[in-house]
Amino acid sequence: MQKIGVIFDLDGVIVDTAKYHFLAWKSLADELGFQFTETHNELLKGVSRVKSLEILLEIGNVTLSEREKQKILKSKNEHYLSYITKMGQEEILPGVTELLDTLDNLKIDYVLGSASKNAALILKQVNLLDRFKAIVDGNSVSRAKPDPEVFLIGAQKLQLSPENCVVFEDAIAGVEAANTANMISVGIGDKNTLSEADYNFNDLTELPSQFFQSLLVEN
């Protein structure tokens, strides 16, 4: 491999916004009259907003018209925005800043590949937006993970072949998307849950110091 590039998922890799998604969805579930738990919230990891709503309604056994669904989606996003607009640099997950510094020193480009439609706002809030070569998010794609579209567009932004891209993901759907795209997948989180990933680490602080150099040698 002559050159590599990196594609980062956002939620659970760069920052932990899952807690804010949970609070926003839980608020809506409360309004609709059913219980939404943190276990339920795991089902929404890496999933688009529309698909997340479908899962939520299945959990509550609730049927809504398309107009009502659109109203709910707007309400959920307003709840969510009220949380993320208060985010600061303290929300950046351990090991992220150090990893970005390492990539900069190695002259390895990196982009974001996220289902979130608020990705740019979140990165701006935590002062990381200018560090990424490009942002590919829910506004850029028509198909959600596990479809590899978001990562394939990311590879185009990096001007690299998919097999030369390394993807950092914390969700099963994201790892599946990376593997389908023929990219190197790195699972961040529970190793049993993300067992299909090529490499697994509990968090970014576990990444070996020579990880990228070793990839260059191996390929």
pLDDT by residue for the chain (219 residues), tens only, comes to: 468 999 999 999 999 988 898 999 999 999 999 999 999 998 887 777 888 999 999 999 999 999 999 999 999 999 999 999 999 999 999 999 999 999 999 999 999 999 888 999 999 999 999 999 999 998 999 898 899 999 999 999 999 999 999 999 999 999 999 999 999 999 999 999 999 999 999 999 999 989 998 887 665
Asked if 80 and 142 sit in the same domain, the reply is no
- Residue 169 to residue 11: CA distance in whole angstroms: 9
Number of domains in the chain: 2
Per-residue confidence (pLDDT) for residue 215, from 0 to 100: 86
CA-CA distance, 151 to 147, in Å (whole number)? Answer: 9
The reply to whether 108 and 209 lie within a common domain is: yes
Contact between 143 and 173 (Cβ < 8 Å): no
CA dihedral for 105, 96, 124, 158, sign (positive or negative): positive
Same domain, 196 and 115: yes
Same domain, 11 and 44: no
Choose the final residue of a domain: 59, 84, 109: 84
Predicted pLDDT of residue 193: 92
Are 117 and 192 found together in one domain?
yes
Indicate whether 109 and 149 sit together in one domain. Answer: yes
The catalytic site residues sit at: 9, 11
Half-sphere exposure of 194 (CA within 13 A, CB side): 27
Which pLDDT score, from 0 to 100, does residue 47 have? 78
Please tell me whether residues 184 and 128 are part of one structural domain.
yes
The verdict on 151 and 184 lying in the same domain is: yes
35 lies in which domain range? 18-84
Residues 176, 139 share a domain: yes
For residue 74, the domain's CATH number is: 1.10.150.240
What's the CA gap between 136 and 141, in Å, rounded? 8
Query: Where does a domain end: 33, 67, 84?
Result: 84
- What is the model's pLDDT at position 2? 66
What CATH number did the domain enclosing 139 receive? 3.40.50.1000
Which of 61, 84, 107 terminates a domain? The answer is 84
